[in-house]
Structure 1
Amino acid sequence: MSDWMKNLPEAAQSYLAGRTLDEVECIIADTPGIARGKAVPATKFARQSSFHLPNSIFFQTLTGGWGEAAGDEGFTEPDMVLKPDMTTATAAPWTADWTLQVIHDAYDRDGAPIPFAPRNVLKRVVAQYRAMGLTPVVAPEMEFFLVARNTDPAKPIEPMMGRSGRPAAARQAYSMSAVDEYGPVIDDIYDFAEAQGFEIDGITQEGGAGQVEINLRHGDPVKLADEVFYFKRLIREAALRHDCFATFMAKPIADEPGSAMHIHHSILDTVSGQNIFTGPQDGETERFYHFIGGLQEHLPSAIAVMAPYVNSYRRYVKDHAAPINLSWARDNRTTGIRVPVSSPQARRVENRLAGMDCNPYLGIAVSLACGLLGLHQKCNAGRAYKGDAYEEETVLPRDLGHALDLFDAAGDLHAILGPDFARVYSIVKRAEYDEFLQVISPWEREHLLLSV
């Protein structure tokens, strides 16, 4: 075994035990969260300390277009230096040969972190907590749909066929029988996760037809974002093995609930390890309320990052398991900000606004940034909401254009995330929005063609 392989994470070493490593996939998440990079022979990876990709991967829209975000130097596509984080080395168990994946970090030629690389954005936010003597802890929940193969974009998405020969049923939240319908896919998800060294905290059936939720154990924000990034890929691969698709669209099927990436936050004092949301007598602290107040104050400006596509806003529908406002409450799933039942030591705040379609690094980063602003500014949370929050008015942006306007005006948020990231993100998302506005939808043809 090569010297570099002796220091691999335990799961990667177990995966390769008695086998010869063939290939290493050197990857990095782009702005949407797609894995970009290069696959190289293991022998070549052993000889290289870095590799190069152009910084333009962060200026590309989801459709393959480009945002004019290169800056004063113009669109010259200079190379970035991509360095491996070997703590992220993990198996790619769906491949035909023995392959590892390794997440890389992006630097410029002078060794400075690329400010608009999503993993660097999250690291920047975490560093600001650590500078205050605080350690943020998160636990993401991942919702997604298993759907029938769809090769025609004009055709509506349909639920996958279960083992009974019937389509996956809706309105079956927490049903074990519903999960059994696509048990072979779930089995492969477990197997892939085990091979990659990921610990799943639970899998449940959600309210949509073929909608599944996977919970991950709490931990370091960068590590958990890495896992979500990896999980999206492994879930898609598991689905393809069984002639179906896994989709992380926020709202893939009309009249069904959307898919969220709920983010649970707690903040520890780095020296003592104590949860700063809990006081000496196990009560809620001022900083607990300030964190919630920061979410309430700044999340509207952050929605463009947590709901990054035109489809994302279809999820925020009254009485469809997604929030429509920024009320907070204890153990109340109708509010945008929820405090789950827990022991005082595990007290946490759940942000229910982020969609599963967001880049996990950016979604977690912007949520933590809003809470950090709350701590800095001592934001007032107000009283906990009582009752059904769907009875209140919608206060969230209703479309991507409005959300981007709020994001562009959020100087305090830009300072936390990085001004250059905020500039590039807005340009790229507006380019995507312009691309969408060039598409004429079936609704427009049906209702406007002969009626207006």
Structure 2
Amino acid sequence: MDFFDQLPQAALDFMDGRKLDEVECIVADLSGIARGKAMPAAKFATQKHFYLPNSIFLQSINGDWVDDADAPFTEPDMVLVPDFTTASAAPWTADCTLQVIHDVFDQKGDLMPVAPRNVLKRVVDLYHQQGWDPIVAPEMEFFLVARNTDPNQPIEPPIGRSGRRAAQRQAYSMSAVDEYGPIIDDIYDFAEAQGLEIDGILQEGGAGQIEMNLRHGDPVKLADEMFYFKRLIREAALRHDCFATFMAKPIQDEPGSAMHIHHSVVDLKTGENIFSDADGAETEAFHHFIAGLQNHLASTIAIHAPYVNSYRRYVRDFAAPINLEWGRDNRTTGLRVPISGPEARRIENRLPGMDVNPYLSIAASLACGYLGLMERREPRAEYVGDAYASAEGIPGTLASALDLLQCADQMQEVLGRDFCRTYIQVKRTENDAFLQVISPWEREHLLLNV
């Protein structure tokens, strides 16, 4: 097949000696769900592009459709063009299958502004226009949980190899990781087959909660990898009769799951980190980037915390930041500067939850830093001590977060106004649907008492 010479080596290694049976043509929707179509490999080889309706970006997480007043709901087709650099194995399938992420264009040949991967590319291009190359390193936290087929029942930790349920408050315990070692083994095997690199895996503080660190690199490539990782982790868990969930707060009284993003910026000409000067000291650009996060991050919380459940993670003294303070090696601040040498000086945004669309969350975080670099303002003084005692500074509900994004003119200009308009409409639809649901708490405490 003619496209084989465009495939990454890992994909070629996966197919070595095997006949390619199927190709999955996929894109990420606003929620980060893989949408697309699968086709026989022979059919895929004869086509240069494919079509999907633009309505995939107008669908809420609960399956409702949004009517965009500025674009009547006629469902015109978009043009999908394969990005062969993203071709990756689907090693959990019974046959030899590849996944390929596609670029999304309108019928005039312009990039679709609402497609999450295009939103991230737009922000990265703004950096490139200034002679900068943004670098990110994401962390992924998720829970392994017992199968839950009844949404009315609470989620429980999984049964480990000892026959007992996973225990909480066992952060960094190797024994806790070993409890579900076979799942971890499959995650490693799937990642190797897909050519994805894992920096490390550890036990987090929650029962059955795992953190996985990825190497630093290009934002679009890392977002592609996180998009793939979510799928492969779910598949690995299903092989062992449990679920993997990326909900921000799946279990009551347990910590939530975050997607921390580490940021640095490199000069395209010199290859040097612009956060450090020739003597290794912090630069003005470093402080401007922090100021951008402090001044604009609140307006993007609706992207970093995209569901009503996301705000259950922001609990004081519960392993999640609730503020926009910054500090050196201080995990109580929303913005942390980790210990590093000058060449690796970076800023960690600890606000995003793991339920985010990785393309959009990375784009929004980089957009804040970009605005800071352009505005050249100074951040507030470094916070020393327990920042949980500080003012929270972030919205507490999805509705209030969407209000902030709707009023954020500069942020909409950076992310794209068409994207922001559609995103806000979809998320308001989801929030309205949630408000129609009566919870067990309401029935328990209000039914006979009010």
* TM-score higher than 0.5: yes
1:94-113 correspondence runs (5 A): 94-113=92-111
1:42-57 correspondence runs (5 A): 42-57=41-56
- 2:159 corresponds in structure 1 to 161
- 1:279 corresponds in structure 2 to 277
Tell me the CA shift for residue 73 of structure 1: 4.2
Q: Distance in 2 between matches of 1:89 and 1:36?
A: 15
- 1:118 corresponds in structure 2 to 116
2:47 paired with 1:18: no
Q: Distance in 1 between matches of 2:387 and 2:405?
A: 25
2:390 paired with 1:385: no
- 2:291 corresponds in structure 1 to 293
Letter of the structure 2 residue corresponding to residue 281 of structure 1: D
1:212-251 correspondence runs (5 A): 212-251=210-249
- 1:127 corresponds in structure 2 to 125
CA root-mean-square deviation: 0.7
- 1:446 corresponds in structure 2 to 444
Tell me the CA shift for residue 72 of structure 1: 3.4
Contact 1:323-1:335 within 8 A present in 2 as well: yes
Q: Distance in 1 between matches of 2:126 and 2:207?
A: 41
Letter of the structure 2 residue corresponding to residue 8 of structure 1: L
1:315-326 correspondence runs (5 A): 315-326=313-324
Letter of the structure 2 residue corresponding to residue 442 of structure 1: P
Q: Distance in 1 between matches of 2:372 and 2:280?
A: 21
What are the Cα deviations for residues 331-389 of structure 1, in whole angstroms up to 9, with x where unaligned?
01110000001110000000000010000000000000000010111122122111111
2:150 paired with 1:152: yes
Letter of the structure 2 residue corresponding to residue 258 of structure 1: G
TM-score, reference length from structure 1: 0.99
1:59-98 correspondence runs (5 A): 59-69=58-68, 71-98=69-96
Figure out how many residues of one structure are paired with residues of the other and give that number.
Answer: 450
Q: Which moved more, 1:382-391 or 1:366-375?
A: 382-391
Letter of the structure 2 residue corresponding to residue 124 of structure 1: R
- 1:202 corresponds in structure 2 to 200
What SS class does the counterpart of residue 45 from structure 2 fall into? helix
What are the Cα deviations for residues 223-272 of structure 1, in whole angstroms up to 9, with x where unaligned?
00000000000000000000000000000001111000000000000000
Contact 1:145-1:248 within 8 A present in 2 as well: yes
- 1:35 corresponds in structure 2 to 34
Contact 1:68-1:428 within 8 A present in 2 as well: no
What SS class does the counterpart of residue 38 from structure 2 fall into? strand
TM-score, reference length from structure 2: 0.99
Tell me the CA shift for residue 194 of structure 1: 0.1
Letter of the structure 2 residue corresponding to residue 49 of structure 1: K
Q: Distance in 2 between matches of 1:6 and 1:126?
A: 28
What SS class does the counterpart of residue 284 from structure 1 fall into? coil
Q: Distance in 2 between matches of 1:66 and 1:437?
A: 17
Letter of the structure 1 residue corresponding to residue 70 of structure 2: D
2:357 paired with 1:396: no
- 2:348 corresponds in structure 1 to 350
Q: Distance in 2 between matches of 1:308 and 1:382?
A: 27
Q: Distance in 1 between matches of 2:71 and 2:232?
A: 38
| Percent identity of equivalent pairs | 70
2:268 paired with 1:270: yes
Q: Distance in 2 between matches of 1:50 and 1:174?
A: 46
Unaligned runs of 5+ in 2: none
What SS class does the counterpart of residue 14 from structure 1 fall into? helix
User: In the alignment, which of 323, 326, 333 is matched to residue 335 of structure 1?
Assistant: 333
What are the Cα deviations for residues 281-335 of structure 1, in whole angstroms up to 9, with x where unaligned?
1100001000000000001000000100000000000111100101100001110
Letter of the structure 2 residue corresponding to residue 59 of structure 1: L
Tell me the CA shift for residue 3 of structure 1: 2.5
2:170 paired with 1:172: yes
Identify if the C-alpha distance between structure 1 residues 259 and 73 changes in structure 2 by more than 3 Å, giving closer, same or farther: closer
What SS class does the counterpart of residue 200 from structure 1 fall into? coil
Q: Distance in 2 between matches of 1:379 and 1:272?
A: 24
What SS class does the counterpart of residue 160 from structure 1 fall into? coil
- 2:359 corresponds in structure 1 to 361
Q: Distance in 1 between matches of 2:184 and 2:318?
A: 25
Q: Distance in 1 between matches of 2:161 and 2:92?
A: 22
What SS class does the counterpart of residue 451 from structure 1 fall into? coil
Q: Distance in 2 between matches of 1:290 and 1:344?
A: 17
Q: Distance in 1 between matches of 2:205 and 2:391?
A: 24
Q: Distance in 2 between matches of 1:275 and 1:281?
A: 12
What SS class does the counterpart of residue 199 from structure 2 fall into? strand
Q: Distance in 2 between matches of 1:51 and 1:97?
A: 23
Tell me the CA shift for residue 67 of structure 1: 1.6
Q: Distance in 1 between matches of 2:440 and 2:70?
A: 41
Letter of the structure 2 residue corresponding to residue 170 of structure 1: Q
Letter of the structure 2 residue corresponding to residue 321 of structure 1: A
Letter of the structure 2 residue corresponding to residue 307 of structure 1: A
What are the Cα deviations for residues 407-434 of structure 1, in whole angstroms up to 9, with x where unaligned?
1000000000000000000000000100
